[in-house]
C-alpha cells in the first residue's frame, strides 16, 4: 500500500498546485489584454523585457537557494542541529550575493545599460526611469525574497507542501494585483516597479510570519549562525548557480534577445505564444512536483527499482495526459489566441508548433530533471543547462536574425532534444547503475512512440506541410496506443493502487 500512500499524497498536493496553475492561467489570460490596452504594445514590451532582466538577476541567488533547500531536505532526516546551522549560516551567502546584485544594478543604472537590454532608445529609457526601476526591483528582492525563500523550504521536509502551494497562490495573486494596478493607472516603469516590490516584500514577510507560527522550533532562524558554513555552501553551489543562470538565460534571456534583435514591440509576439505553451509546462510541474520527496527518499535509501517503477508510471500517466491535451486543444488555440490578445498581436504558427514540440520533449524528461535537481547532481544539472542555454541563446540568436521566430523556435526545440539525451544518460547510466537498478529498453518505447507522433504532427503543421491533416488523427491514435502499451507494462500492484485511488477520488466527488 506504499504506492497508494504516495499517490494519495501526490494527489492532495497536485490538487492545490493544479488550482494554482489554473489561477495562473486565468490571471495571464486577463493580464495580457489589459496591459496591451492601458500600457500599449511598446510600454508593455518594455515591462516584459525589464521583468526578464530582473528575473535574470535573481538567478544569481537561485542556485544557492536551491542548493541549501535540497540540503535542508536531507538534513531534516539526518541531523537537526546541522539543519539549523545551515539555515542560519545561509544569511552569509544571501548577503554576499545581494551585494553583488545591487552592485551590478547600480552599474547598469550609472552606465545606461538598461536601454540596451530593453532594445529602446536611451531617451525612452530615461523617460520611464528604467534603470531606477530595475534597481528597485532588485533591491526589494534582496531585502525580502532571497533569504526568506530558503526559510520557505522548511515547509517541504516537514510535510507542508500542501500549505506551500497555497502560499504560491497568494504570491501570484498579489503579483497580479501589482502589475494590473500599474497598468490600469498607466504608471511608468519606475512607478510600477515600486508598487511591485512593495507587494512582493509584503507577501514574503507574511509567509515568514506564518512559518514562524507553524514551525516555532526553528525560530529564530539566524540562531547557530556560522559565516564559514554559509560561504562554504555558497562556493559548493556555484555550479548550481551557473546552471540556474543558464536556465533563466534560456527563459528570460530569450526575451531580452528578442528585444535587442527585433525591438521591444516584437516581445509580446514571443511572450504571448510562450505563455500559451507554458500552460502545459505548468501542468507537467503540477503533476510531477508532488513526487519530489518520494524520489529523493528512494535515492537516500538506495531503492533504485522503485525509481524505475515511478518513472514508468509517470511516463504513462503524465506523458499521455500532456501529449493528448496538446493535440485535442490545438485546433482551438488560434481562435482563442485572437480573442485573448484582441487581435493586437499576430499568432506565429511556426513558433507555436515548435514551442509545443519542445514542451512535449521536456515533459518526457520532467521527472528525471526534478530528480537530478533534487539530489544536487551538480554535473548533470550544469551540463544540461549549459547545452540548453547555449543552444537556445547562441543558436536562437543566429537563427532569429535569418529566419525570424521560426528559427528561434527550432533552436529551442533542438536544445530540448540535447537536454533530454544528457539527462537520460546521467539517470540511466550513472544514477540507476549506482543504485543497482536497470531501466529496460521497452520501458521507454511507449513514451517514445507517443512523443514522436506528437512531434511529427506539430512540425508538419508548423511548416505548412500538406501531410499535417493526415498526421493529426494518426498522432492521436499513436498517443492512445502508447498509453495502452505503457499501462499494460506497469506492475499489477501499481495499476491496482492507481485504480483504487481513482475510485476513492470519484467517490469523494460524488458525495460533495
Q: What is the pTM of this model?
A: 0.69
Has residue 33 been placed in a domain?
Answer: no
- Cα separation, 373 vs 65, whole angstroms: 12
What pLDDT score does 262 carry? 74
- Cα separation, 354 vs 360, whole angstroms: 10
Residue 18 has pLDDT above 70, yes or no: no
499 and 384, same structural domain?
Answer: yes
pLDDT tens profile 385-396: 888 888 888 888
Has residue 374 been placed in a domain?
Answer: yes
Has residue 13 been placed in a domain?
Answer: no
Which of 264, 405, 411, 283 is closest to 347 using CA atoms? 405
Has residue 326 been placed in a domain?
Answer: yes
Has residue 30 been placed in a domain?
Answer: no
What pLDDT score does 14 carry? 61
162 and 279, same structural domain?
Answer: no
Choosing from 205, 236, 267, the residue where a domain stops is: 236
- Asked if omega into 384 is within 30° of 0 (cis), the reply is no
**Least confident window among 117-126, 169-178, 184-193, 306-315:** 117-126
Which of 511, 505, 506 is closest to 7 using CA atoms? 505
Has residue 379 been placed in a domain?
Answer: yes
Residue 1 has pLDDT above 50, yes or no: no
Categorize the per-residue pLDDT at 201 as very low, low, confident or very high, splitting at 50, 70 and 90. Answer: confident
Has residue 18 been placed in a domain?
Answer: no
Share of the chain above pLDDT 70, in %: 88
Q: In the Cβ-directed half-sphere of 370, how many Cα atoms lie within 13 Å?
A: 22
Residue 7 has pLDDT above 60, yes or no: no
User: Angle of helix 130-140 relative to helix 40-75, nearest 10 degrees?
Assistant: 20
227 and 347, same structural domain?
Answer: no
261 and 230, same structural domain?
Answer: no
Mean pLDDT of 182-198: 84
Supply the DSSP symbol for 220.
S
Which of 203, 178, 202 is closest to 34 using CA atoms? 178
Cα-only R_g, the chain: 23
Choosing from 180, 204, 236, the residue where a domain stops is: 236
424 and 484, same structural domain?
Answer: yes
Q: Provide the Cα torsion 284, 290, 295, 300; round to 10°.
A: 150
Using a 10 angstrom Cβ sphere, with 0-12 exposed, 13-18 middle and 19 or more buried, the burial of residue 78 is exposed
pLDDT tens profile 148-159: 878 878 887 777
Terminal alpha carbon distance of the chain = 26
Domain count, the chain: 2
What pLDDT score does 4 carry? 46
Residues constituting the chain: 512
What is the distance, to the nearest Å, from the Cα of residue 199 to the centroid of all Cα atoms in its chain?
Answer: 22
Q: Residue 399 has which C-alpha cell?
A: 537563427
Nearest-5° Cα angle at 54, 50 to 56: 115
What pLDDT score does 72 carry? 84
Residue 49 near residue 134, CB atoms below 8 Å: no
CA 139 vs CA 113, 199, 244, 293, 452: distances in Å: 18, 13, 20, 33, 45
Residue 362 near residue 447, CB atoms below 8 Å: no
Choosing from 213, 236, 259, the residue where a domain stops is: 236
- Sort residue 262 into left (φ over 0), alpha (ψ -120 to 50) or beta: alpha
pLDDT tens profile 257-285: 777 777 766 778 888 888 888 888 878 87
pLDDT tens profile 283-292: 887 778 777 7
pLDDT tens profile 464-495: 899 999 999 999 999 999 989 988 887 776 66
397 and 332, same structural domain?
Answer: yes
Residue 227 near residue 92, CB atoms below 8 Å: yes
284 and 214, same structural domain?
Answer: no
258 and 215, same structural domain?
Answer: no
167 and 266, same structural domain?
Answer: no
What pLDDT score does 411 carry? 92
290 and 187, same structural domain?
Answer: no
373 and 271, same structural domain?
Answer: yes
- Secondary structure (3-state) at 111: helix
User: Angle of helix 267-288 relative to helix 2-38, nearest 10 degrees?
Assistant: 160
Q: Residue 363 has which C-alpha cell?
A: 515533459
408 and 318, same structural domain?
Answer: yes
Residue range(s) defining the domain that contains residue 97 = 39-236
Has residue 14 been placed in a domain?
Answer: no
Residue 30 has pLDDT above 70, yes or no: yes
Average pLDDT over the chain reads 81
- Cα separation, 284 vs 286, whole angstroms: 5
Amino acid at each position: 500500500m506504499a504506492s497508494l500512500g504516495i499517490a494519495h499524497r501526490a494527489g492532495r498536493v497536485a490538487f492545490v498546485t493544479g488550482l494554482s496553475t489554473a489561477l495562473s492561467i486565468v490571471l495571464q489570460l486577463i493580464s495580457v489584454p489589459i496591459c496591451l490596452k492601458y500600457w500599449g504594445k511598446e510600454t508593455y514590451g518594455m515591462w516584459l523585457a525589464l521583468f526578464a532582466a530582473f528575473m535574470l538577476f535573481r538567478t544569481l541567488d537561485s542556485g544557492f537557494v536551491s542548493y541549501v533547500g535540497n540540503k535542508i531536505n536531507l538534513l531534516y532526516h539526518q541531523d537537526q542541529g546541522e539543519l539549523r546551522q545551515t539555515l542560519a549560516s545561509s544569511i552569509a551567502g544571501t548577503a554576499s550575493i545581494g551585494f553583488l546584485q545591487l552592485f551590478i544594478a547600480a552599474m547598469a543604472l550609472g552606465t545606461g545599460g538598461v536601454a540596451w537590454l530593453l532594445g529602446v532608445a536611451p531617451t525612452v529609457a530615461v523617460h520611464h526611469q528604467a534603470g531606477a526601476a530595475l534597481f528597485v526591483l532588485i533591491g526589494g528582492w534582496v531585502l525580502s525574497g532571497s533569504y526568506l525563500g530558503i526559510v520557505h523550504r522548511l515547509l517541504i521536509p516537514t510535510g507542508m507542501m500542501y500549505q506551500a502551494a497555497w502560499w504560491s497562490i497568494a504570491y501570484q495573486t498579489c503579483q497580479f494585483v501589482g502589475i494590473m494596478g500599474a497598468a490600469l493607472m498607466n504608471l511608468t516603469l519606475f512607478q510600477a516597479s515600486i508598487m511591485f516590490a512593495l507587494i512582493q516584500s509584503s507577501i514574503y514577510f507574511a509567509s515568514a510570519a506564518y512559518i514562524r507560527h507553524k514551525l516555532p522550533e526553528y525560530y529564530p532562524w539566524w540562531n547557530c549562525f556560522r559565516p564559514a558554513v554559509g560561504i562554504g555552501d555558497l562556493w559548493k553551489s556555484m555550479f548550481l548557480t551557473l546552471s540556474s543562470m543558464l536556465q533563466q538565460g534560456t527563459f528570460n534571456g530569450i526575451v531580452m534577445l528578442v528585444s535587442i534583435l527585433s525591438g521591444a514591440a516584437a516581445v509580446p509576439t514571443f511572450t504571448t505564444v510562450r505563455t500559451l505553451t507554458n500552460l502545459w509546462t505548468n501542468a507537467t510541474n503540477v503533476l510531477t512536483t508532488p513526487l519530489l520527496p518520494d524520489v529523493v527518499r528512494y535515492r537516500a535509501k538506495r531503492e533504485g527499482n522503485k525509481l524505475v517503477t515511478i518513472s514508468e508510471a509517470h511516463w504513462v500517466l503524465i506523458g499521455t495526459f500532456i501529449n493528448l491535451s496538446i493535440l485535442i486543444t490545438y485546433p482551438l488555440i488560434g481562435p482563442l489566441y485572437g480573442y485573448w490578445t484582441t487581435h493586437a498581436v499576430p499568432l506565429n504558427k511556426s513558433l507555436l508548433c515548435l514551442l509545443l514540440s519542445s514542451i512535449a520533449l521536456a515533459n518526457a524528461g520532467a521527472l528525471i530533471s526534478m530528480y537530478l535537481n533534487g539530489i544536487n547532481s551538480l554535473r548533470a544539472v550544469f551540463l544540461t543547462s549549459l547545452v540548453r542555454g547555449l543552444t537556445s541563446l547562441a543558436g536562437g540568436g543566429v537563427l532569429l536574425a535569418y529566419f525570424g521566430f521560426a528559427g528561434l523556435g527550432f533552436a529551442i526545440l533542438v536544445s530540448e532534444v540535447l537536454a533530454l539525451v544528457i539527462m537520460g544518460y546521467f539517470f540511466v547510466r550513472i544514477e540507476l547503475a549506482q543504485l543497482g537498478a536497470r531501466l529496460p529498453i521497452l520501458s521507454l518505447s511507449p513514451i517514445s512512440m507517443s512523443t514522436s507522433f506528437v512531434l511529427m504532427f506539430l512540425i508538419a503543421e508548423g511548416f505548412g506541410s500538406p501531410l499535417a491533416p493526415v498526421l493529426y488523427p494518426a498522432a492521436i491514435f499513436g498517443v492512445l496506443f502508447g498509453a495502452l502499451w505503457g499501462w499494460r507494462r506497469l506492475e499489477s500492484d501499481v495499476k491496482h493502487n492507481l485504480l483504487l485511488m481513482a475510485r476513492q477520488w470519484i467517490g469523494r466527488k460524488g458525495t460533495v
